[in-house]
Amino acid sequence: MTPTDLPPPSLRLRLDRTALADNWRALDRLSGSASAGAAVKADAYGIGVEAALPALHDAGARDFFVAHWSEVADVLPHVPGQAISVLHGPLTVEDCAYARASGARPVINSMYQARLWLKTGGGPCDLMVDTGMNRLGIAMNELGEADIARLQIDILLSHLASADEDSPLNATQLARFTEACAAIPARRRSLASSAGIVLGKEYTFDVTRPGLSLYGGIPRPELEGEIRQAATIEVALIQCRDVLPGDSIGYNATFVAERPMHVGVVSLGYADGFLRSWGGKGMLRSNDAALPLLGRISMDMVVVDLAAAPQLREGDWIEVPYYLPDAAATTGLSQYELLTVLGHRFQRL
């Protein structure tokens, strides 16, 4: 057998490219006079860069944001290096050399990175200013540094810490970013990610950087009705069995049957991003039938009650409800986590 003869896996992640493109268009429209880019780090938040990139580019996206240098290679076949910004910036001379070879722009986040970039030859870059999140970015009191003035800045950016809430921090960060824009010459300016886009038109500047909402995430109520689910998940039923009253199911026997039950073992577990936080509360679906999860997710499998769909057989496909706001409410995981935990065993369609 050659690898091309491998049978298809028992998990499928279906990307709705139309929904993805529509979500980008909605976010671009909501960005007003700014143009929406696309955050495609972490393999397009687990959806798969290979499928997501062409759909986003065809829809009109021209600025792409990844976190790591290792993520540039998967984006490069689809867009020129100059369209890619690397958010973590350069840590080593090798990073700088790779930036120049690939054309991808480093986001300079600290005085260390500014000096490293200049020392290795400089050139176009982006600059992140920290306006109150204390994650990456030069501090407000470093805006006047001589080495910052020497940078050739395309996008000047900052990131909002609480854009998904009505927090006074949003206005504080906007005021600081406005101050930074006055102090630092740049070709373009960018503050808002998905949630920030709908905070008001003063937040959108020249470029916006949505990630989560491209892939169906709804971090603020203003985005309801604008954003559609982009990823659906289907998993195979690998065994049907009958359990008797008193029988327990799964790790640590947390579920004990009180009556005879017909149950199904489904190919879905931790490595696929289906974490224990789903256990006990969640349910899978088969058309209109709800199939409650029984007991703990147990490594690579989970057991469901088949009472509502007794016709299901081994090899049938079952849907995992992955409408992100609802899945987040069920599991206590964030919509970001629900996407980025999705593992590598899915057949991405």
Ligand X SMILES: *Cc1c(COP(=O)(O)O)cnc(C)c1O
Catalytic residues: 41, 251
Consecutive H or E run containing 339:
helix 335-340
Among 113, 194, 229, 340, binds ligand X (CB under 6 A): 194
88 binds ligand X per the rule CB under 6 A: no
Query: Which residue is it, tokens 């579920």?
Result: 255
Instruction: Give dist(CA 66, CA 95) in Å, integer.
Output: 14
Among 211, 216, 264, 282, binds ligand X (CB under 6 A): 211
| Nearest in space to 104 (alpha carbons), one of 56, 136, 129, 69 | 69
Burial status of residue 228 (CB atoms within 10 A of its CB: 0-12, 13-18, 19 or more): middle
Write down the least CB distance from residue 333 to ligand X, Å: 15
Write down the least CB distance from residue 53 to ligand X, Å: 16
Which segment (205-213, 283-291, 317-325, 341-349) binds ligand X by CB under 6 A? 205-213
333 binds ligand X per the rule CB under 6 A: no
Write down the least CB distance from residue 69 to ligand X, Å: 15
Closer of 298 and 334 to ligand X (Cβ): 334
- Residues in the interface with ligand X (CB under 6 A) total 11
173 binds ligand X per the rule CB under 6 A: no
Write down the least CB distance from residue 210 to ligand X, Å: 5
CA distance to 40, 276, 279, 299, per residue, from 251 (Å):
36, 11, 11, 9
- What angle do the packed helices 17-30 and 49-59 form, to 10 degrees? 50
Write down the least CB distance from residue 41 to ligand X, Å: 6
Question: Dihedral sign, CA of 270, 272, 273, 279?
Answer: negative
Instruction: Give dist(CA 44, CA 63) in Å, integer.
Output: 14
Closer of 31 and 194 to ligand X (Cβ): 194
39 binds ligand X per the rule CB under 6 A: yes
87 binds ligand X per the rule CB under 6 A: yes
How big is the chain by its Cα radius of gyration, in Å?
Answer: 23
66 binds ligand X per the rule CB under 6 A: no
Contact between 291 and 303 under an 8 Å Cβ cutoff? The reply is: no
Among 159, 189, 296, 348, binds ligand X (CB under 6 A): 159
Identify any residues that bridge with 49 across adjacent strands, giving them in sequence order.
Answer: none
210 binds ligand X per the rule CB under 6 A: yes
Among 13, 212, 266, 294, binds ligand X (CB under 6 A): 212
User: Under the rule (CB under 6 A), what is the footprint of ligand X?
Assistant: 39, 65, 87, 159, 193-194, 209-213
